[in-house]
Amino acid sequence: MRIIKIVLLSLTCFIFVVFALFACDDYFKNGDNPKSLILFQYEYTNWAWGYSHSGWFIDNQGNVKGYNMPDDWKWPDKSGYIAFDSLIFNYHQTDTLYFQIDILSLAEKTNLIKGAINGELSDKVYNGADIGKMALYCYYWDRKKNKYKRQLLAVTGDYGQINTTSNAIQLTNYLIQIGELNKLFLWFP
């Protein structure tokens, strides 16, 4: 009888631990943004002296994956919305896995995304010509529109502009640090 109680207790604990691990894994992957597969993007575009388009995504697994001169790129609409299939199409054009970010630190940053959405943008500051556009974005799944919202965090190059929310500033600094430490982008302060 005692062995049966121990087995039942052990089985109950095992089921609880497995359930808790899956629940935590889902939380760390998605935080407050449950459908988000793509979390962040750095994008460089330049139409001066020919066309150039490159960048990287950070997905919900912490993968930092790059692209260079992708074919038939799907752009968000003027409000920053992009269909799920279009964003996934773009993501599948990545051709390089640069590295993987620790999932716990990524979860902390992912939870800042919602507070950056629809943040007020600073006035544009013009820096020069023919530099191109280097931009940092976060993505948020909008349940009402059934689309992703691509939110500008910061842009530099021909002009500079920032999202002024504290969450956006924290995310911008985080993404700049990732890019600079790993030599993955151009960025002009």
Confidence of residue 64 (pLDDT cuts 50, 70, 90): very high
pLDDT at residue 181, rounded to an integer: 82
Encode pLDDT of 146-175 as tens digits.
999 999 999 999 999 999 999 999 999 999
Q: When comparing pLDDT for 90 and 17, which is higher?
A: 90
pLDDT at residue 157, rounded to an integer: 92
pTM: predicted TM-score of the whole model, two decimal places: 0.80
Share of the chain above pLDDT 90, in %: 68
Strand, helix or coil at 78? coil
* Confidence check: pLDDT of 31 > 60: no
pLDDT at residue 20, rounded to an integer: 38
To the nearest 10°, the Cα dihedral for 99, 104, 107, 109? -70
d(CA 41, CA 146): 20
